[in-house]
Structures are given as structure tokens and as C-alpha cells.
Structure 1
Amino acid sequence: MSDRCFLVLGGSGLVGSQIVRTVARAMEPEKIVVASLFRGEVREFLYDVRKEFPQIEFVGAWGDVFVRDEFSLERRRRLLQSGHRRDMLYED
């Protein structure tokens, strides 16, 4: 399985971080992509997990994966405050 890449959504959260560690330990993939809403949480987690598993490449991704790319870094509350953006969000 060393040629595999895994994507863990919510990977820097409480449960997600344990999934990342379990996959790293049990599957020993080449790469794990850790995705979560907030950049700071992802970066902090990557700093720690890279020390634990130096043989694995860890890549961070952040933002809301459930909305179009142009909205992915905005908070949901802010999106909903704009009538035009809210309409675009619901059209998707």
C-alpha cells in the first residue's frame, strides 16, 4: 500500500487526526492529504504529524469543500449575509 494517497476530510480535528495517525501507522502510504476548514488548524497538525511520521508526505488543504471554490475560504455566516452570494450558494 505504499503507493497510495489518502484524503482525510476533517483531518485536523479530534477524530480526523486519529484517523490520519491510524492510516499512517497501519497503511504506510506515500502521501496523506489533511483537509479541514481552517488553515491554522491544518498547519499546526501537520507540524506535529510530520515529526511522528517523517517517511510520509503530508499535504494540507483548507476551506469548505461543500461550496464552489470562490466561496471555500469564506465563513458560512458571511456568505448568507449577502443576498446575491446566498442565491448563488443555494443555486449550487
Structure 2
Amino acid sequence: MLRVLIVEHASIGGFMTHYGWNSTLEGIVPGKAMVTWPVALVQFYNEKGKKGKGMRRKAKELGKMAKTAVEEGGYSHFSLNDLIDELKRQPWL
């Protein structure tokens, strides 16, 4: 959790990552640019993207989209609540 708070700090413009899934989310949600250094498997696919200003712009756009999705009324928020409601209706719970 501390790592996420550090990444979200206003003085952090971006960071270097091996581009695993956790690091990807930790950078996208606050809209931070990432310099990637993939080391294995899917990380090479995760790292593809534009350079410089374009990369920073896209990171901010993705961050806004991620925040909107999890806010009340957002798609992910709606989907999670829908799943919870469906599970509550199941007789085996």
C-alpha cells in the first residue's frame, strides 16, 4: 500500500517498472508515465506504447478511465455489485 501512495504523490511524474500486472495498474490508475524494462513473458506485450509526451498523455487518459470505472455508477462498480447481488440470490450461500 505504501508503494501505491508513493506512486500517486504529485511529485512523481513517472517510474521505471518491469511492467508486471501490479506495476501496470499502480501506474495507470494515478495516470503516471512508465519507463518499461520487461524481463519475461507477458511483460514484453504490456510494455508496447508511445514515447515521451504521448506516453504521459495516454497514461493520464487511462488513469481517468480506470478511476471512472471503479467509482460509484462506473462499469466495474456496477459489475461488482451485480455479481454480489447474483451471489446473494443463490440458494447455496
TM-score of the two chains, using structure 2 as the length reference: 0.30
**Higher Cα Rg: structure 1 or 2?**
2
- Name the structure where strand makes up a greater proportion of residues: 1
Give the structure-1-normalised TM-score. Answer: 0.31
